[in-house]
C-alpha cells in the first residue's frame, strides 16, 4: 500500500513537471511572437501645418492659468488601418516618434503634445464613446489622424519623418512604416516655435 502511494505521488509529480514545462514553452513562444505584432504599413503624411496650442482643446492643459499661446506643428497622416480598433484589440498605447529620417528607424527628437488623435478623440485602448468614428471607418478608404509636436531649432532644416510606435504591458509592439514629412513643409517646421 505504501509503495503504491509513493508511485502515485511520483506520477503526479511527473505530470506537474510536464505541464509546467509545456506552459513555460508556450509562454516563451508567445513572447517571441509579440515583437512582430501589428501596425500599419501604409501611413503617409498628408499635411504639416502650424497651429496654436491655445486653440487645440483636445491637447491636455494641466495649468491653473489660461491655456498659453504656443505655436506647434500639426502633422496629419493617413492610413487604411483602423487605429482605434487596433489599439482596443491589442490594448496598445498608440504613440509616435518624429525625428530625422533614417532608413531603419526614427529616433524621436521633438517635444510631444498628447498622443495620436482623430479630430478631438485621443486614441487609446480604453475609449468608450467615439462619436462619428465608426461611421467614418464604415465609409472605407483611408482615415486621417493627427499628432502635435514642437520641433526644436536644431531640427528645423533637417529632413524629418514620422512613425507610429507603441505597445502594451504584455510586451506587444505597435510599429508602422516610416513616413517622410513633405519637402515643402520646412517653412511650417521653422514657423512652429
Residues 21 and 109 in one domain: no
Residues 18 and 59 in one domain: no
Residues 131 and 43 in one domain: yes
Residues 63 and 150 in one domain: yes
DSSP classification of residue 119 = T
Residues 99 and 62 in one domain: yes
Q: What is the pLDDT of residues 29-52, one digit of tens each?
A: 444 444 445 789 999 999 999 999
What is the extent of the structural domain holding 13?
A: 2-34
Residues 141 and 117 in one domain: yes
And the C-alpha cell for 13? 509529480
Q: What is the phi/psi pair of residue 74, to 5°?
A: -100, 125
| Among 161, 41, 150, residue whose Cα is nearest residue 107 | 161
Residues 12 and 88 in one domain: no
Number of structural domains in the chain: 2
And the C-alpha cell for 53? 496650442
SS3 10: helix
Residues 134 and 102 in one domain: yes
CB-based burial of residue 53 (10 Å sphere; 0-12 exposed, 13-18 middle, 19+ buried)?
middle
Q: Cα–Cα distance between 118 and 81 in angstroms, integer?
A: 13
Is 94 in contact with 124 (CB distance < 8 Å)? yes
> pLDDT tens digits, the chain, 193 residues: what are they?
555 666 765 666 666 565 655 544 444 444 444 444 578 999 999 999 999 999 999 998 888 999 999 999 999 999 999 999 999 999 999 999 999 998 888 888 889 888 999 999 999 999 988 899 999 999 999 999 999 999 877 777 889 999 999 888 888 998 999 999 975 444 344 333 3
Rounded to two decimals, the pTM is 0.75
Amino acid at each position: 500500500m505504501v509503495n503504491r502511494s509513493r508511485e502515485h505521488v511520483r506520477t503526479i509529480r511527473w505530470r506537474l513537471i510536464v505541464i509546467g514545462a509545456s506552459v513555460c514553452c508556450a509562454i516563451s513562444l508567445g513572447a517571441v511572437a509579440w515583437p512582430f505584432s501589428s501596425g500599419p504599413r501604409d501611413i503617409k503624411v498628408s499635411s504639416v501645418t502650424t497651429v496654436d496650442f491655445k486653440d487645440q482643446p483636445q491637447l491636455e492643459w494641466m495649468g491653473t492659468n489660461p491655456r498659453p499661446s504656443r505655436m506647434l506643428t500639426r502633422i496629419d497622416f493617413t492610413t487604411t488601418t483602423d487605429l482605434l480598433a487596433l489599439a482596443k484589440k491589442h490594448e496598445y498605447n498608440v504613440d509616435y516618434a518624429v525625428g530625422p529620417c533614417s532608413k531603419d528607424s526614427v529616433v524621436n527628437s521633438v517635444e510631444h503634445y498628447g498622443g495620436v488623435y482623430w479630430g478631438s478623440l485621443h486614441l487609446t485602448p480604453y475609449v468608450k464613446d467615439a462619436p462619428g468614428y465608426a461611421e467614418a471607418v464604415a465609409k472605407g478608404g483611408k482615415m486621417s489622424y493627427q499628432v502635435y509636436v514642437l520641433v526644436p531649432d536644431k531640427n528645423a532644416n533637417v529632413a524629418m519623418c514620422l512613425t507610429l510606435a507603441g505597445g502594451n504591458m504584455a510586451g506587444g509592439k505597435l510599429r508602422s512604416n516610416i513616413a517622410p514629412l513633405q519637402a515643402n513643409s520646412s517653412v511650417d517646421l521653422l514657423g512652429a516655435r
